[in-house]
Structure 1
């Protein structure tokens, strides 16, 4: 039988052990390599580690989480966690060792190509800084319920039955950097942005949207530079640009040197297309390449874009006549200055290095061997506009690092020659 001193010693050891478990499971002990998380998280997730997310996690207001290169953030497919950011998040992968928000490989089947196996990264208005650099987001977009933390906390659309985006950001005074990232296999929107100083550059979006959803969805309060992104076969638009929400400042989006392929065809409605503009959004659209997309730049005729908007030097290609016919300029299909557009199928072939232009437009599956660089003789070469002003050419400083929006190229699209 233990004496009183031994009992107290055992209780102390148990208390220490419990505190250690609590630290590992709730705050994620940043001194360890691998871990699991449920509840509040902050600190640093170490390079190359695997963090298993057992349920909804929250970065508290006033705290930050830094995710180092090569970290795998593995979502429990039964819990379908939401990743809520009330403080700040810095996901800092590299080209060789990206950060990955994902699920176990066993669940990545054709039947689950549109994810729905975890929620998304949801940044509350108290999040002042968020960086995703060389980060992969995949197989998420779960549908909310009354039990969802985001619904209980009044985040995103704060109602049950909403399909979560891969990323929601909502601080008009905040700073948002999304660069060198891949977003794929999501149920609906990839991003839904309601304010901030923003750079989206060198990202790729594909296999997203069952019945709706955009790659990049910007609302009022956004001052965004959006350049050198590749979007393939989103259900709806590659870019939805709107001043809805009555936030200040007025949404002003400068989108340039983006490549869009086969976007919009899987949503048979007026909004399915390439770039949608509405509600007095101020847009400058330069050097964008539309290949086999549904429509081109399309406006809401009842609530059009700001009259100061500038559109020029974009290129349109359609493999067949049906595609060509529906991006011809009209009251709702917006033509720009120095755009390269014809009324004949096959004209303006961008001459991609490796992409079969006969690929069915309803195909959502992306082949990683495709190469959208341009071959010599492409009509997109040398036709880009470079003498325009970007919001963030001088840079946005986040967590001590200055990110600048890339300089425009003298070619059209996201990729020049190899």
Structure 2
């Protein structure tokens, strides 16, 4: 184990261990830690191998790829700002730990770029271009932890392959987060992503807790938000995803023979997603996508003015997008026996959006069944004779069931769901009278805990269970903390 230097006094290791066992939404205050030697900020950090600690509240400038060798750890303390230049990346063959706090987050950014609120147009907004590179964790990386960390303006194209044995990683890739160790752990909690030219994330294998994050403007003319592939398993919950090009959260088992991709996706809020994808498969974009022999539990999600609702892909094996795993398995070979979904809430300001609350075959073959627990009740609306995949008229649902955000204009101005892609000054918390309040399920499923360590520094700060209010913000103050 790595040698830890406890900077705060009077805190015992037993107390720290006790704090790490919490599995609720509380953000535990822990003593600052340091691993190895401190890295000074006396000049531009050149490309090379690094280990040790970036010190709290310091600003560092990086001039080339930062490589963490297998067996080494780079730890980033709270309040650190890292200005990435020359399209630099983090190449993680060891462990990367970023420990921001709510009052002193870590920021990794391209110093040439600034966030622009309001209308966002492809070709005019630098968020979609890619400034610095990304965090690429290879097959020997055992642990990546990002807590209260801003990842802004990433996605510069890879100039060379950073390691061998990576799934679908090519020169020119423009991901911000990439992880590919089937035995590794990836934790992203209470963090932010702003801007990307392609998929913001690609995950191939390993164990994940992706919880209470905010994602804005991800994908230029294509690209998913949290995109899990291979044998990756874990949770995607309490995330706010606004203005994504394609899907907000996605699973697909392609890229591995090690096992199925399995995730819970619950209590997320998706706003204005799915309208910038102009590719061949762009007509399947929107909120949630389950495809290619993967399985998922999809509950309690708030989906507002997104191109498509929860989409369970159909189609023949061997196609680019093929059938999700909807079979019932009772032999214990999977983490949960069957793909299931329900208690999801939909709102639309256009008939073209309401027509896809239950996705149809206009894009590709689907097997999404209307659910009586959804709002609106799509099983009742479509009737017992509806055949999933067929086109229907949802125009009477337009403007119904306004979720009553604290501060966001609904009904929205026509077409604004294409160009309002960032949070800005809006507040997506629910008002007390919201029809989404108290309509979630807390008993139909439980989050995945397999393989996810609970630790204030080297694991999850807490796997927040399903919330009774639909969406990422809970009226009792739990859920997303941004």
TM-score, normalising length: structure 1: 0.86
Tell me if 1:44 matches 2:44.
no
Q: Pick from 53, 57, 63 the counterpart of residue 66 of structure 2.
A: 57
Instruction: Summarize the Cα distance change of 1:188–1:245 in structure 2 as closer, same or farther, 3 Å threshold.
Output: same
| TM-fit CA distance, 1:240 | 1.6
After TM superposition, give the deviation of residue 226 of structure 1 in Å: 1.1
Match status 1:368 vs 2:450:
no
Q: Does 1:94 align with 2:101?
A: yes
Q: How does 1:204-215 map to 2 (within 5 A)?
A: 204-215=214-225
Match of 2:300 among 264, 287, 290: 287
Instruction: Give the strand-richer structure, 1 or 2.
Output: 1
**Greater shift in the superposed pair: 105-114 or 164-173:** 105-114
Secondary structure, counterpart of 2:352 in structure 1: helix
Match of 1:3 in 2: none
Q: Which segments of 5 or more consecutive residues in structure 2 lack a partner in the other structure?
A: 1-35, 117-123, 316-321, 327-337, 379-393, 478-482
Matched, 1:381 2:441: no
Q: Is the contact made by 2:266 and 2:298 (CA closer than 8 Å) also made in structure 1?
A: yes
Question: How many Å separate the matches in 2 of 1:392 and 1:413?
Answer: 21
Q: Secondary structure at the match of 1:183?
A: strand
1:283 Cα deviation from its structure 2 partner? 0.5
Which of 141, 155, 161 is equivalent to 2:172? 161
Where 2:108 maps in the other structure, the secondary structure is: strand
What secondary structure does 2:44 align onto? strand
Q: Paired residue for 1:305?
A: 324
Higher-Rg member (1/2): 1
Once the two structures are TM-superposed, the CA of residue 82 in structure 1 deviates from its matched residue by 1.6
Choose the corresponding residue for 1:125, options 139, 144, 166: 139
Distance 1:266 1:320, change over 3 A: same
Which residue does 2:190 correspond to in 1?
180
Name 1:70's counterpart in structure 2. 79
Counterparts of 1:189 and 1:367, CA distance in 2: 19
Partner-residue secondary structure (3-state), 1:177: strand
Give the C-alpha shift of residue 214 in structure 1: 0.9
- Residue number in structure 2 paired with 1:23: none
- Is 2:151 the counterpart of 1:142? no
Tell me whether 1:339 sits opposite 2:374 in the alignment: yes
Contact 2:313-2:367 within 8 A present in 1 as well: no
Equivalent in the alignment of 1:251: 261
Larger mean CA deviation between 120-129 and 299-308 belongs to 299-308
- Closer/same/farther in 2, CA of residues 31 and 54 from structure 1, 3 Å limit: closer
Answer yes or no: is the 8 Å Cα contact 1:274–1:294 preserved in 2: yes
Aligned equivalents of 2:189 and 2:78: distance in 1? Answer: 14
Q: Secondary structure at the match of 1:362?
A: helix
**Farther-moved stretch of structure 1 (350-359 vs 384-393):** 384-393
Structure having greater relative contact order (Cα 8 Å, sep ≥ 6): 2
Q: Does 1:30 align with 2:1?
A: no
Instruction: Decide whether the 8 Å contact of 2:167 with 2:255 is kept in 1.
Output: no
- Distance between the aligned counterparts of 1:94 and 1:58, measured in 2? 25
1:300/1:328 CA distance change after superposition, 3 Å? closer
Q: Cα 1:379–1:262, aligned 2, differ >3 Å: closer, same or farther?
A: same
Partner Cα separation in structure 2 for residue 173 and residue 315 of structure 1: 35
